[in-house]
Every structure is written in structure tokens, then in C-alpha cells.
Structure 1
């Protein structure tokens, strides 16, 4: 007798992307309409809230999964304490790719790498600690429960890690588009029609593959750590010149290729893992 395969329920990707883009873009469009610098009142409220779109999307998927009684996706990676040693190493490698690219860029005409930019940022934030807290909150913590903890494991159900990384990187880059039109953002300073803006958009591909690798190694905690390292180093060093961004982009690709070649996880996990930050 022929057997009937139970219908597979949606993975939650459509819901995640719909809520993520809806929350972020609606907030950022409001910030654009209000005008003024990103961190000035009242623009700062929708500007900051928009950064939490991926987290809101992740919560929406988690609530639906809980109501349906569905298990976590097979490719969810739990927090792995013994492998957390990889997080500092990957953070150092990620930061080194940014600094290395900036140094090479300087040799070819880009501004020199100095501490002046970092000192000014610390002064504006009220000190190094508030600055680092803001860099951790806006970006790594506000996004990684969504991009890595929710979207990536579900994409891995039907795609390899490279293909999933390429697609997620492209989606992540598109998600940032409204920020080019909010005064005072890094994206607006680069310009959407500039070479630096193009390189910024393209950089999400190797950055996604790098953070995905960290997630595969040690879960969402490692993804947050590497995301934080890249963002913070880019801001502190002040990488904006096209030649410097081009070399950062190149070094990140080299780093990602080396990491992918060195670590080849099984296509199907031997056992399902549960990450408390994953949904």
C-alpha cells in the first residue's frame, strides 16, 4: 500500500522575514520622515527600535512554534562551553581582518589608522564602557537571535552552509537599505551611490559566512561575539575610504575561505541540539 508522507509545516522563515522587515523598515521610514540626526530626539526612538526587528521576528517565530508544539530545527546549535574558546579566537581574527585591511589601505592612500577616532567616539558616548555597551546592544544582541538563532538553522534545512550564507548575507544587506537615508548613520555617511556604499553592502556576504561559522562552532553566543568584534573594530578604526573597505572585504573573504576549508561539519547533525537563544 502506498504510504502518505505527513505534510511538512512551514519552517517559519516567511513569518520571520515578514515581521523583521516590517518592524525595521516601518520604524526606519518613520525616522526618515521625522528627519534630523539618527540619535537626536525624537528620531532616535524609531531608529533604535528598528534595529530590534530581527529580535521581534525571532520572538514571533518562537511564539508560533510554542503554540504548535513544534521542535527546534535540526540545525540549531546549542551553547557549547567547551568550544567557547573559539569565540575569542574568531573575534581576534575578525578584528585583525579589519585592521589589516585598513593598514593596507593606508599604504595605498586611505587615512592612517590612529586612536583619534576612538577617542572621539568614547567622548561622545560618555566613556569606553557606554560606547562598548551601545555597540553590543545595537547590532549583535538586537539581531543575532534572529539572523543566526532563527533564520540560519531553518535555511540549513534545505541548503548547505555556503548557499545559506550567501542568501542570508544578501537579505541582511537589503535589510540595511533604509539606513542610507537616515542622517547621522554610518550608511548615510558612506552614501548609497558611492563605491564605499557598494562595498558596505557586499561586505555582508563574507561577514555572514564568518558569523555563521562562529554559530556552527558554539551557537548564538559566539555569533554575537564575532558580530560585536567586526562592528566595533570597523567603527573604532573608522574604515570608510573605498580602498580600505576593499581590502577589508578581501581579507574577510580569505579568512572565511580558510575557516570553511578547516571545518567541515556533517550535513545532518548526529543529534538535535537546543540553543536557549535560538527559536
Structure 2
């Protein structure tokens, strides 16, 4: 019975997440139906990122009522029980970019520079504070409340954390497809090799999010901080042109270290978090 409830909940969630986000992102893949300026308007990009959060709240309310919504909101609003998970969420993205800068300085003779940190090529007029707040509380919470706060615990109820992360990556990747029509996104100019690399990085990211989610006792906020910090560090307008490939390499290494250290069962030293229904 619990498995059936999980499948019903997940079905509702994925349908809602896709419908809400894809409706908001419609100006990107159906530009002829909207004013020309909407095709390159970043507002729709960031508004669409609330889709997984809204889908999680709707699906939880339908399936689990007020008690389920309270549990989800608790996961979104609290940092969890692990101090090191919080520190990892804050520090790992900075360490990765620092190491990438050092590698690039050695290999490519690029100077180490953090000029451009906290600036966005998509919205260059933003202050550092606004850029950080958008990435943590709009991008991070908007996505992680759905993918990790709602979907991951239900998937982990019937499979290992590793299998859950792989399966969730598939649904997560499909959700992104309208951004491949958005000219200001990094997806727009990807070739087949770029897409393959992106899918692999998404999988490694899913594993790392599961690691932090389970290690923190189910804290969406910890995952949102990590997601936001990764975006801040990885999409900031740094002058160094080689960082992306080194960032990807280091994320890959970290992902394999997590799998090797904690194992596929829980991807954590703690038991994986499952939904209570």
C-alpha cells in the first residue's frame, strides 16, 4: 500500500512540476505566441524554477494533507542535524572553484582571479547580494523542495539511494528541456557532446544532493544552500575561460569519492531518508 501511495504521489508531483514550469517557460519554446522580448527575458527562467516547489506543495496537500505539508515545510525551513553537512554545502563549491583556478594556473597559465564572483551574465545589473539570494532561495529552494524534499524520500522508500538518484536524474533532466530554447542559457549552445557532459554532471549532482540530504536528516535548506552556492560559483562571470571543464572534473571526482566512502545503499553514514505516509 505504501508503494502505491508513493507512486501516486510521485506521478502527481512530476505532472505538476512539468506543467507548471513548462507553462511559465512557454515563451522560450513557443516564441511566436508571445512578445519578442519575452523570448530572452530571464524573469520567466527564474519564475519557472518555482515549479518543483509548487508541485511538491500541491502533491503533498492532495496526498498527505496538512500533516504532510507541515513536514515538507519543516524540511525546507530547517538546516538539519549535521553541522558538517551545512559547512560542506557552503564550502565545497568555493573549494572546487579555487582548485580549478589553481589547476588552470598550472596547466593554462591563467592568473588566479575571483573578479566577477557574484555577477551574472544573464542579469549583469544584479548586486552580489541579490544574485546570491536568487540562487539560494529561488533556484535552490525552488528546485530542491521538489526534487529532494518531495521526490527523493519517496523513491528511497523502495530502492537504494543510488538507484533513486539515477532515476530522479532522468525526470530532472527532462524537466529542463525548454531551457534549450532560451538564448541566454548555457543550454542553448550545447552540442551533442555538451549535452552528454551535462547529463553526466546532473547525475553526479543528484548523487551529491542525496548525500547531503540524507546526511542532514532530510534538510531541503541544506541542499538549497549547496545548489545556490554551486550556481554562484559556477555561473559567475569569471575572466578565466577554462574553469567549467575543471569544475566538472572535480565534481566527478567528489561524486565517486562519496559513492566509494558511503556506498550505494544510503550514500551517507546515516540511514537514507524515506517519506512517512
TM-score (norm 2): 0.77
Gaps of 5+ in 1: none
- Residue in 2 that maps onto 1:93: 92
The alpha-carbon deviation at position 166 of structure 1 amounts to 1.5
Q: Which has the larger radius of gyration?
A: 1
- Residue in 1 that maps onto 2:62: 64
What CA distance in whole angstroms lies between the structure 1 residues aligned with 2:172 and 2:233? 19
Q: Measured at CA, do residues 47 and 271 of structure 1 come closer, stay the same or move farther in structure 2, by a change above 3 Å?
A: closer
- Residue in 2 that maps onto 1:170: 170
The alpha-carbon deviation at position 171 of structure 1 amounts to 2.4
What CA distance in whole angstroms lies between the structure 2 residues aligned with 1:271 and 1:173? 23
The alpha-carbon deviation at position 58 of structure 1 amounts to 0.2
What CA distance in whole angstroms lies between the structure 2 residues aligned with 1:157 and 1:7? 8
Aligned residue among 183, 205, 208 for 2:206 = 208
Contact 1:101 1:248 (C-alpha < 8 Å) held by counterparts: yes
Aligned residue among 2, 5, 8 for 1:9 = 5
Count of residue pairs the alignment pairs up: 264
Matched, 1:187 2:187: yes
What CA distance in whole angstroms lies between the structure 2 residues aligned with 1:68 and 1:129? 34
Contact 2:118 2:131 (C-alpha < 8 Å) held by counterparts: no
String of CA shifts for 1:27-48, please: whole Å, max 9, x gaps. Answer: 21233414756796xx444333
What CA distance in whole angstroms lies between the structure 1 residues aligned with 2:199 and 2:166? 13
String of CA shifts for 1:128-186, please: whole Å, max 9, x gaps. Answer: 21121122233201111100000101111122111111221232222222112112223
What CA distance in whole angstroms lies between the structure 2 residues aligned with 1:39 and 1:132? 24
Contact 2:49 2:143 (C-alpha < 8 Å) held by counterparts: yes
The alpha-carbon deviation at position 270 of structure 1 amounts to 10
Gaps of 5+ in 2: none
- Residue in 1 that maps onto 2:18: 21
